[in-house]
Amino acid sequence: MKPFEVLFFPRRAFRVFSSIYGFMPVVPVGAVCSSSSGASVVAIDNKIEQAMDLVKSHLMYAVREEVEVLKEQIKELIERNTQLEQENNLLKTLASPEQMAQFQAQVQTGGSPTGTAQPPVPAGPSTQSSGTSA
């Protein structure tokens, strides 16, 4: 058998093969009949183009699908952020100045606001139990 010989491929096919595989495709010299070499090159080029189109369509579908998932996640995160901002604003308005000062001190020292034991708010005997006792 003769050594491998590089066949002529259109530039587009060469660019695709060389970018994917890092080399130009090779075929044994005896594999292509000289009388039909032009037709076989065209047929190979058509098959390569069809394969590239198929890969492109699969990639575009996957990208579109991922974009939709990310859009939905962004929408959910924006809604959650808005909810937390409203909750934060409500808590700020309900907190006493002493509680706000204590919270600011804890933030400045790097302490956790929930990690410190705070005395419970005094209430009557009909207070709802929160499950904690001091």
**Is residue 30, in this structure, part of any structural domain at all?**
yes
pTM over 0.85: no
- 131 pLDDT band (50/70/90 cuts)? very low
Rounded-to-integer distance, Cα 23 and Cα 131, Å: 71
**Is residue 36, in this structure, part of any structural domain at all?**
yes
Count the neighbouring beta carbons within 10 Å of the beta carbon of residue 118: 10
Rounded-to-integer distance, Cα 74 and Cα 35, Å: 60
> Which residues make beta-bridge pairs with 27?
5
- 18 pLDDT band (50/70/90 cuts)? low
**Is residue 131, in this structure, part of any structural domain at all?**
no
Residue 126, pLDDT > 70, answer no
> pLDDT at position 36, please?
64
Query: Residue 92 contacts by C-beta under 8 Å, 6 or more apart in sequence?
Result: 100
- Under DSSP, the state recorded for 29 is G
- Higher pLDDT, residue 114 or 42: 42
Residue 23 Cα distances to 6, 19, 95, 110, 123, angstroms: 10, 8, 70, 58, 81
**Is residue 41, in this structure, part of any structural domain at all?**
yes
> pLDDT at position 41, please?
87
**Is residue 130, in this structure, part of any structural domain at all?**
no
Number of domains in the chain: 1
Q: Which domain does 49 fall in, by range? A: 4-105
Q: Write the pLDDT tens digit of every residue in 48-106.
A: 999 999 999 999 999 999 999 999 999 999 999 999 999 999 999 999 999 999 999 99
**Is residue 121, in this structure, part of any structural domain at all?**
no
**Is residue 81, in this structure, part of any structural domain at all?**
yes
**Is residue 128, in this structure, part of any structural domain at all?**
no
